[in-house]
A and B are shown apart, each in its own frame.
Chain A
Amino acid sequence: MKRLHIILVLTGVLMLLPRIACAQYGEIHDTLDAAVKTDTRRIAVSLGEISANLDGVRNVVSPLGEGDPIRWAQSLPGVVTGADGSSSFFVRGGNMGNNLITLDGVPVYGYSHILGLTTIIPQDVMSSVSILKGGFEGGEGNFTAGHLRITTRDPRDDRFRMSAALNNFLASVGVETPIGKKVSFMMSGRISPLALEYRALRGILPEFLGGFDDFGAGVGDVYAKLHVETSRRSRLDASFIGSMDHYSFTAQGNAHEVMGWDNMVGTLKYHLDGRKAYTDITASVNRYSSMQQQSKEYRGEMNVLSLKSELLEYMLSFDRVRSTSQMLKVDYGAKLRYAGFAPGQVASVDNSSQTILGTGYVQARFDLKDIFSMRAAVRGHYFHNLKDDGSYADVDASASLKWNILRYLSVEASFDRMVQYYHTLEGLPIGWSLDMIVPSGNKILPELSMQGNLGLSSQIGKHSMSVGGFYKKMDNLVYYRYAQTLFNGGMAGWEEHTDMGQGISYGAELMHEYVGRDLYTRVAYTWSKTNRFGFQSVNDGGEFNARFDRRHVLNVSAQWKGISASMTLQSGHWENGAPETYPMHVPGAEWVADYYSIINNYKMPTVFRLDLGYAFSFETKKVKHDVNVGVCNVTNHFNPFMLYFDASSENWKMIALLPIFPNFSYRISF
């Protein structure tokens, strides 16, 4: 219900935003580099890794007027979107929690922002984005599905710059400046005026908020980076990103909802260039916390459900890349993490535990220019849970090769065996958006995945194409089986209430790109099948559909001059169906009993969305103006975002987050 109300407000806000925005922010004058449509849009492609620069990311049409790394990743082959409008994504049959999202090599656990409409990482500070689906790098670990790697740029050191931007949901301001000759600094802050917009909307259209008594939102983020050229060959970067998403509302019928999540990541990175090598030393502190509370009247009684979780991680890493010859490079390094977990704190329940994870790796890259390249990595992990003394020592490995068998045609293959010690619990109740991150231990084994990937890639003139297939086997996937007890102190023994099982995913991926002078098109198609089995508490260990087992995913995007269009067509995902019922007779009474055949047995409607956008720029004196306007979901197709239980009518309802609505972003920079 809470989401419904928030969505209603957001929807209304969207419609009135231009008006509100003019009143609220009309006097802001500053700069940042604009979102410019360029002709350098081609994305770097291999079967296992796809990369893009900032423009490639911004070109994706999104509810915020311009794209972000998640929207970009969701449009690629091998990546399945979660609920429409959300920032969740699933790579080659893995769970959402099997993905790793890093910012300059440091994990970001709660990357979702504004109810999933975007990420907490401001676009202005990004340098490049890549998603890896296989053939992982040696220094990557503790995940089993995909790695979304975001790198930030260094602050420019030529002069003072300033920028400001406004879109449907966020207002941002950024500055960057040199400090002396060897130091530069940049800072970006964003805040969402949702609460202000709500009040404005309430004043203009009180009828619209009929069932909604109150709404509060505190949404924002800040990013800062200090860059120091410590010598001709070395530099030191200190960065910080903090974000908060807090929402509360009161609906008629005594339903009150509070939810929120916060991130704080501080990183210190030292980089040293040598004649044939370079070294990175990184230290970071990472805190992610979340909470959700519902107070809902059900059959005349007030039910208060609440959960909160926290993860605090300290990390120290060392990475060195050394070129031993023109053809061979060797990487090696180590990483040490100390983490504290406090998942599912309910009332006085204390689930806190601490873990240590140490990883060492060595990787070799062999590159016979334009003919053959290969990469192989071996990682060793040692994990220890200090609470229950559960310890694991594992070795995993990755390998990839590319062989140009013809001038225009290459064969690519990769293999990965990955181990993951942090788990996001699947199986939490519908309508609860919390990510409950828990560690391995005596009862929760490390998750494992093994995957192979084979395909062809080709580039002929303005066309590039890749086609390939993958097969992945997953083991020790974690599932929380007693959703009902979650709120009744059941989390006190959450390890006892989890079940582990397996999954298999296989499929084919295809991508075609055309890069012309004015026209750019991209078609990405994925056919895949993903299942789960071996969970003893689910269907007696039998097979069932993975929740986001979308059989067909087709994404098409095109840009011509300033005009952008993107279309997505995806098979519906799976939700738990309603029970079948049957009459049962007990002595002296006839009742109706429920029968649940299996989980994830109801197929949601097909997702179809057509988005259109137009971008243009103009300059006035020293100020550059960039404007993006567009319409999301032009056909107003009903794409369910989530299911929620309406306690008053005791019915389930589907909510779409993105009906047809306009998007808008305006950026000035000087």
Chain B
Amino acid sequence: MKRLLILLFLAVMVSSCVRDVVLDAEEEPRVVVECILSDAPVQELRLGFTKGASESEARPLTDAVATLTDLTSDTNVGCFERNDEGIWTLDYSAVPKHTYRLEVQVPGYALICAEDTMPEMPEVYGCTWFPELSSSLFPGGIIKTPDKYKDKLWGTFFSIETLPEYLLIYALDYNPETGRHEIAEEICTDLESVDRYNVTGKLYEPYAKDGNDDFQLYPMLAGASIHKRFLRITRTSGLSDKYCQIGGNFSGDYHRASSREPSPTEGYLVFASVSEQYDRYLSESIFYQQLQESTDITTIYLRDNIFTNIDGGVGIFGTRIEQKHIWARLYTPMDKFRAKE
């Protein structure tokens, strides 16, 4: 009996020693703004509130007035309208190098605003090359194949003619199960001047065709550093070479004909010129996303926020101009490849 009493008492005490806690500071939610202007015909704006740690979901933001102004031409572009999916849209195509201002008025909050300038258009050409041909066809005409790929490449290479200030390259797979395009998790290139901020530590190993090592996917990329989701090249670091190959764990059918736009069910590569602010937002997002997924326990001590340029809120008002490009899943016959080496 005595022992039972001690155990009961200890159980009560131990249970009272430790408690789970949700450290919800119960602060007023911040307004979240996401708008990336582009040269597409329709601009999208997402508005919402931040969610407290103990809330199951964020309070919806349905009552707001959002206006876009072209500061370069000093014109009021228009107001965003909220559609059924909760996304605010505006029929307008942003003009390269123009500066825009977004203002959002939410009842109970001070004016929320941000400004950004559209980047310049990137000039990139993609070409799928077979060694059997003596030249490759670019949209602008017949050009010579770069020496480094001559007789060795079965696949797509790119020529970056004009490097914008911030260039992002990524692959969008088409997922037939979700009916949506999803970013490929791994991507690599043979360009040496690519930013290494998001390297995974893995190196590219060419995929073998149906388990047959005699045919491999982009063997020239063997040993290249795998980047998480994005390749980033800045004008500051420059281009080590204007020609490059892209590889990665891309899945599904890919857009292969440069003479047309990709079909809705094809994957494709994106070369996006982005503003400095959007570049910083994306870079930090990717960095913190990687940390969140890491096994480094010191990440629990992080209290840094992802960059925001929203005055009075969080999120991003960024700008971008993109090009969609082809990519061919061509397997190189390794006997011919080795013979050329």
Choose one: B21, B172, B286, B297; the contact of A305 (CB below 8 Å): B297
B77 within 8 A of partner (CB): no
Return chain A residues, CB-CB under 8 Å to B182. Answer: 588-589
A486 to B297 CA separation, bound complex (whole angstroms): 12
Q: How far is the CB of B321 from chain A (nearest CB, A)?
A: 13
Please state if B286 and A597 are interface contacts (CB–CB under 8 Å): no
Given A303-B296, A581-B51, A602-B25, A653 and B32 contact (CB-CB distance below 8 Å) = no
Q: Are B23 and A593 in contact (CB under 8 A)?
A: no
**How distant is A433 from chain B, measured CB to nearest CB, in Å?**
15
Inter-chain contact A585/B46, CB cutoff 8 Å: yes
B172 near A602 with CB under 8 A, answer no
B-chain residues with CB within 8 Å of residue A485 when the two chains form the complex: 298
Contact in complex: A594, B288 (CB < 8 Å): yes
Interface segment among A123-131, A370-378, A500-508, A654-662: the answer is A654-662
Tell me which of A576, A652, A659, A661 contacts B303 (CB under 8 A): A576
CA gap between A313 and B315 in the complex, in Å: 51
Which residues does chain A contribute within 8 Å of B304, judged by CB atoms?
596
> Could you say which of B7, B30, B285, B301 contacts A483, with CB atoms under 8 Å apart?
B301
B302 within 8 A of A: yes
- What DSSP secondary structure best describes chain B's contact surface? mixed
Interchain nearest-CB distance for A19 vs B (Å)? 10
CB distance A593 to B306 under 8 Å? yes
Residues of B with C-beta under 8 A to A589: 182-183, 229
- CB of B13 closer than 8 Å to a CB of A: yes
* Cβ-based interface call for B170 (8 A): yes
Q: 1/0 contact trace for A634-654 toward B, CB 8 Å?
A: 001010100101010001111
Give chain B residues whose Cβ lies under 8 Å from the Cβ of A483. 298, 301-303
Say if the beta carbon of B16 comes within 8 Å of chain A. yes
Q: How far is the CB of A83 from chain B (nearest CB, A)?
A: 14
Given A578-B53, A582-B51, also A595-B46 (CB < 8 A) = no
A298 within 8 A of B: yes
Given the known interface contacts A585-B46, A653-B18, A654-B19, the answer about A601 and B183 at a Cβ–Cβ threshold of 8 Å is no
Q: Which range holds the interface residue count of chain A?
A: 35 or more
Q: Contacts A582-B32, A652-B23; is A7 near B295 (CB within 8 Å)?
A: no
A58 to B183, CA, bound (A): 68
Stretch at the interface among A8-16, A20-28, A175-183: A8-16
In the assembled complex, the CB of B300 is this many whole angstroms from the nearest CB of chain A, namely 5
Within the complex, what minimum Cβ distance (angstroms) separates B310 from chain A? Answer: 11
Nearest chain A CB to B296's CB is how many angstroms away? 7
Q: Which residue of A lies closest to B34 (CB)?
A: A585
The answer on a CB contact under 8 Å between A586 and B297 is no
Q: Mark interface residues in B23-48 (1 if CB within 8 Å of A CB, else 0).
A: 11101011010100000000000101
A461: Cβ under 8 A from any B Cβ: no
- Whether A45 is near chain B, meaning CB under 8 Å from some CB there, is no
Task: Tell me whether B306 and A15 are in contact (CB under 8 A).
Answer: no
Indicate which residue in A15, A298, A601, A602 contacts B297 across the interface (CB closer than 8 Å): A298
Q: Give CA–CA (A654, B19) in the complex, Å.
A: 5
Contacts of B23 in A (CB 8 A): 575-578, 602, 643, 652
Contact of A305 with B298 in the complex, beta carbons under 8 Å: yes
Bound-state CA distance A601–B26 (Å) is 9
B289 close to chain A: CB less than 8 A: yes
**Closest Cβ–Cβ distance, residue B177 to chain A (whole Å):** 15
Instruction: Using CB atoms, name the residue of chain A closest to B299.
Output: A484
In the bound complex, CA of A585 to CA of B285 (Å): 10
Contact of A586 (CB < 8 Å), options: B29, B181, B282, B295: B282
Is B27 within 8 A of A599, CB to CB? no
Kindly list chain A residues whose C-beta atoms are within 8 Å of the C-beta of B30. Answer: 580, 582, 595, 597
Given the contacts A593-B288, A596-B303, A4 and B18 also touching, CB distance less than 8 Å: yes
**Closest CB-CB distance, A582 to chain B, in whole Å?**
4
B270 within 8 A of A: yes
A429-B301, A580-B29 known, 8 other contacts, Cβ within 8 Å = A11-B17, A15-B9, A300-B295, A586-B286, A587-B272, A588-B229, A597-B30, A645-B300
Jot down 10 A-B pairs with beta carbons below 8 A, ordered by A: A487-B298, A580-B51, A585-B46, A588-B229, A589-B183, A591-B285, A652-B23, A654-B19, A654-B21, A656-B17
Of all A-B residue pairs in the complex, the 6 with the closest CB atoms, nearest first, are A588-B183, A577-B25, A301-B295, A578-B53, A580-B50, A298-B297
